[in-house]
Amino acid sequence: MAGHAEEHGATIADHLEYWTYKFDDSNPFMQIHVDTMIMTSVIALALIGFALWLRGKITEGAPTGAQNFIETIVDFINETVDNNFAVHNPWMAPLAFTIFVFIFLCNTIDILPAYLLGHIAHSFGAPAFRPVPTNDLNLPLAMALSVFAMTIYYELKLKPMHFLKDMVNEPFTSLVPMWAKPIVMPINLVLKIVEEVAKPLSLSFRLFGNMFAGEVIFLLIAFLLFADSVDDLLSVGGIIAEVLGFVIALGWSFFHMFIGLLQAFIFMTLTVVYLSMTHQPVEH
């Protein structure tokens, strides 16, 4: 039994390994996760292909089918942006839509049968394969850093002097006498840097943590459905275990889809809120 458990434990551990290409074995930063690159590229190309296909199907009047579904999402995104973004920026709604749809599709690949894409990848010679790109911290962190770069860009573009003053004057400079301000300013700068860096970190780790936990639970459920032999599978206990496991897996699939949808919405909303803060007029 111990050997059997270790065998399955190794199997689960194997499915938590990335397909890694290393440019330099001695440097952990000189490597890429090929499975993440493949899946993000496939999802991005699928979105572009779907958009091109839908463009040729758009009709005037009451929308139907895919057009109606997409217009519902667009209306929802526009309403969310209008509620959280006080000024006009023609790029904001398309950016929010892209983030929401892309992250949701990345998150919900887990609804496919556990190990399926991994087995397909192994048949083509891949040493390991993790199908959900948002389970790889590199992707959520890259998206969060892109949002962070946009916030810095708009801060410097729209109110550069206010941004630079805010970095050294908040939160303590206004609370101390004039002679102490030069002493407090470096402390303010450190605190503001920590505050700014915390934004992309919280964005990325929230998404990564939820999706990683969901994948592990999927693998554990699939592990519980394994049977040692056909006789075990066809026994009364085996049949009950398989039916119960299927019900649990189905229930978790729906819950995980909801979590994926929720995380996509949170990431999108926080992106809009962070960028909205950069567009707020300076108060005098």
Active site residue 206: yes
Active site residue 55: no
Token digits for 52?
């091109």
| Omega cis (within 30) before 171 | yes
Catalytic residue among 204, 210, 253, 276: 210
Catalytic residue among 78, 138, 169, 206: 206
Please report, as a single letter, which amino acid is at residue 12.
I
Cβ atoms of 2 and 8 closer than 8 Å: no
Please report, as a single letter, which amino acid is at residue 46.
A
- Helix or strand run (H / E) with residue 22: strand 20-22
List, in sequence order, every residue forming a beta bridge with 20; answer none if it has no partner: 33
| Omega cis (within 30) before 127 | no
Q: Tell me the C-alpha distance between 265 and 252, whole Å.
A: 20
Catalytic residue among 41, 174, 202, 235: 202
Provide the strand spans (E) within the chain. Answer: 20-22, 31-33
Report the catalytic residues. Answer: 202, 206, 210
